[in-house]
């Protein structure tokens, strides 16, 4: 057999992403490894990509949809609720009376002019910066992707997966497999074993997104997370955002690009209104509309 532990690790991560219980994951990996040993084939040649093979296994087992993909009941309490958020920098009022409610299965986009407080608002929601007014309630776990600074120069991608996964209760193999599976979904197959400092800017940004999503947090807060992505990766990212929402997560994306706002259920525009009192009030737009 041409043993490819990377391919098998990614397969394990893909199976878990589809909700297979751990005993089935172990059994499928064992049977796959045995087949490859007997046939002496390369796994990619024998089965295709790990994602495609995991999908085929999931379908062949007749596995019911994972609970997170069931229809979300909106009567449930929201995953994230920010009410009356205000923030000052010295004498300058940056945010004033901003509200945001995001339920499981919903995507919210935060838009607005440069300097209007988008990143500050997200940091307040993540709990890493204090507001001067208002309240944030989060029900569940949070994954927060800032604009840079979420990775270490000296660790490889796999070492990042293991480190962050350990903090979220995952073992080494499971962390590595889940990280590689998420990387493949962002058009980054087989992360090379090199230090993060040697990655391109776009690839390092993918690493930050993966670390944010590792361990399936209930709420994902993403601050312009696609910086440096090429076109294909950018499109794959938004596809993955919708998939995360379908899995039952609440997602907030700060963005200055308006071409994907139809993917959002709520759009909050933090651009100051000429008719508003001094400061900024978040203005909500219905799904599919864009701020002017």
Which of 215, 209, 219 is CA-nearest to residue 239?
209
pLDDT at site 73: 42
pLDDT at site 277: 41
pLDDT at site 3: 54
pLDDT at site 81: 95
Phi, psi values for residue 199, rounded to 5°: -80, 150
pLDDT tens digits for range 140-183: 999 999 987 788 899 999 999 999 999 988 888 889 889 988 88
pLDDT at site 250: 96
Which residues, given as ranges, of the chain have pLDDT below 50? 1, 65-73, 75, 275-283, 286, 288-292
Task: Strand 133-138: give its sheet, edge to edge.
Answer: 92-102, 80-89, 133-138
Which of 286, 288, 144, 122 is CA-nearest to residue 212?
144
Write out the H or E segment, with its range, that includes residue 11.
helix 5-17
- Per the confidence metrics, is the pTM higher than 0.85? no
């Amino acid at each position: 057999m041409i043993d490819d532990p990377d391919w098998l690790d990614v397969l394990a991560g893909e199976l878990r992403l589809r909700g297979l219980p751990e005993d089935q994951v172990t059994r499928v990996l064992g049977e796959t490894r045995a087949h490859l040993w007997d046939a002496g084939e390369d796994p990619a040649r024998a089965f295709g990509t790990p994602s495609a093979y995991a999908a085929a296994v999931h379908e062949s087992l007749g596995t019911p949809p994972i609970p997170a993909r069931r229809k979300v009941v909106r009567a449930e309490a929201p995953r994230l609720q920010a009410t009356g958020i205000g923030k000052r920098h010295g004498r300058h009022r940056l945010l004033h009376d901003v509200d945001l409610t995001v339920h499981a299965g919903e995507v919210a986009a935060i838009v607005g002019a440069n300097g209007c407080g988008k990143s500050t608002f997200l940091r307040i929601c993540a709990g890493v910066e204090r507001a001067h007014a208002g309240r944030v309630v989060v029900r569940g776990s949070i994954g927060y992707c800032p604009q840079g600074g979420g990775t270490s120069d000296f660790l490889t991608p796999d070492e990042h997966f293991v480190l962050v996964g350990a903090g979220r209760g995952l073992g080494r193999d499971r962390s590595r497999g889940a990280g590689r599976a998420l990387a493949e979904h962002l058009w980054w197959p087989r992360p090379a074993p090199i230090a993060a400092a040697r990655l391109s800017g776009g690839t390092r940004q993918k690493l930050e997104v993966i670390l944010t999503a590792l361990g399936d947090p209930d709420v994902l807060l993403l601050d312009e997370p696609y910086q440096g992505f090429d076109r294909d990766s950018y499109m794959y990212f938004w596809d993955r955002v919708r998939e995360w929402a379908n899995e039952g997560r609440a997602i907030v994306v700060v963005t200055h690009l308006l071409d994907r706002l139809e993917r959002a259920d709520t759009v909050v525009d933090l651009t100051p209104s000429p008719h508003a009192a001094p400061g900024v009030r978040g203005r909500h737009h219905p799904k599919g509309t864009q701020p002017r």
